[in-house]
Copies of this chain bind each other. A is one copy, B any other.
């Protein structure tokens, strides 16, 4: 297309010609200005290279052609969705084929009896969510980027979201996959039935594998009936510790001694199942107010947001409100309706954007600890922020113990950038000490690959590398990621 602008060398020409043998011209981009725009996802501090070519296949056969070509020419392939990832897993490596699945964006089937959808990988999360809603169905996984991110990307990173405390992560909704292997062969995994145990669970092996084992070209997804509209409560606390105590009181189950209260739908002293349980610290609250003038309470040290999508959410919120007060909440504000609920969530949804505005750049961490250790985690993050003299805002999927400590810094300030990077590492070390993981839902990518080995140990790394070798003996699938 743009050979005059950027004459490819012989290898590039060979690669492009071979790709064009099985792809239409408009699906093969080689203009360096264009291909450069595919080099990165949304992570900070993750190096990337210049792609040799970007391909945009529309069919499974075209993906197979790309992989056969890559295998023959030994060219690395970096699969991409909407590049909203936060770990550099979709970053291009030098001279690679970027394989963008965004044009394979058809919803192939929605079945309200079997409660499944069959989709291509480029379907936008929000598009699927809306389409299944029309059938009274619900696709829970809701990463912040849900209006942009693709189902294929969600599968690659095993994405989470606000819904996870009740509904779990993407992995729990993937029943079966069609995958193009490194050599271009097609493999089907899993099933379209509610249950199935025929052989090893290869489906789950691909979920979260960050494009390093094969290219997902079709997915069978499990759906749930659409729940009632959720209702939200906001609770303010004078300390992060008190807010974390409230989280524990809400989630803790009680033994036989503590009978459920009569009426109110079987609610009990604890052991609730909220549809959302989020925390914002003072730094985050202030950042949101500065950005969007939302009038959130800036004197509070921590704001909890709790929601229920149960048959009687008001009664559940009343019970949880009482638990928040017992934990020392200074104010508890239940929403009266869906509109008020949405307003309360708006602030949470803006958190990362707002924190980015504080100093221009952020490093967003994703450490998940057992929820019983959440208080220690927040306390430790505050100490790390003090030690490195940094602004670190914390928003958290508190019900899951999944924190997103977000280091706000000026990328033009070399010393502050160094401190940001060091504090980031220290936060991960803290998470591991508390029995947690370095990544709850964002993945390893480039950003955390040194840390993966610290978490899973040498035997774990050896076995994971050996599995990678099975699927990608030439090492052409998203090289330099994960390990």
Contact = CB atoms under 8 A, between A and B. Distances in A.
A278 interface: no
Interface in A47-63: none
A439 B198 contact: yes
Interface string A389-430: 000000001011110000000000000000000000000000
Interface in A323-340: none
Contact of A460 (B187, B194, B400): B187
A16 interface: no
A248 interface: yes
Given A195-B440, A200-B464, A205-B467, 15 more contacts: A113-B251, A113-B252, A134-B256, A135-B255, A186-B459, A194-B370, A195-B401, A195-B437, A197-B442, A198-B452, A225-B273, A266-B311, A311-B311, A311-B312, A466-B470
Contacts of A276: none
Contacts of A471: 463
Nearest to A483: B199
28 contacts: A112-B252, A113-B252, A116-B370, A136-B253, A136-B256, A158-B197, A160-B195, A164-B195, A165-B194, A169-B197, A193-B370, A193-B400, A193-B435, A193-B437, A196-B439, A199-B208, A199-B456, A200-B208, A200-B468, A202-B464, A204-B204, A224-B273, A265-B312, A266-B310, A266-B311, A311-B312, A463-B470, A467-B470
A192 interface: yes
A437 B227 CA distance: 29
Given A133-B256, A225-B273, A265 B265 contact: yes
A204 to B, nearest CB: 4
A271 B136 contact: yes
Contacts of A401: 114, 193-195
Interface of A: 111-116, 133-137, 157-158, 160, 164-165, 169, 171-172, 181, 185-189, 191-202, 204-205, 207-209, 213, 224-228, 248, 251-256, 258, 260, 265-268, 270-273, 310-312, 368-372, 397, 399-402, 435-444, 448, 452, 455-457, 459-460, 463-464, 466-471, 482
Given A196-B437, A266-B228, A370-B192, A137 B253 contact: yes
A105 to B, nearest CB: 22
Nearest to A258: B136
Given A201-B207, A225-B271, A253-B112, A192 B435 contact: yes
Contacts of A371: 113-114, 194
The oligomer's copy count stands at 2
Nearest to A227: B266
A451 to B, nearest CB: 8
Contacts of A260: 228
A91 B460 CA distance: 29
Given A111-B372, A114-B370, A470-B467, A437 B191 contact: yes
A366 to B, nearest CB: 9
Contacts of A111: 370, 372
Contacts of A369: 193
B460 A188 contact: yes
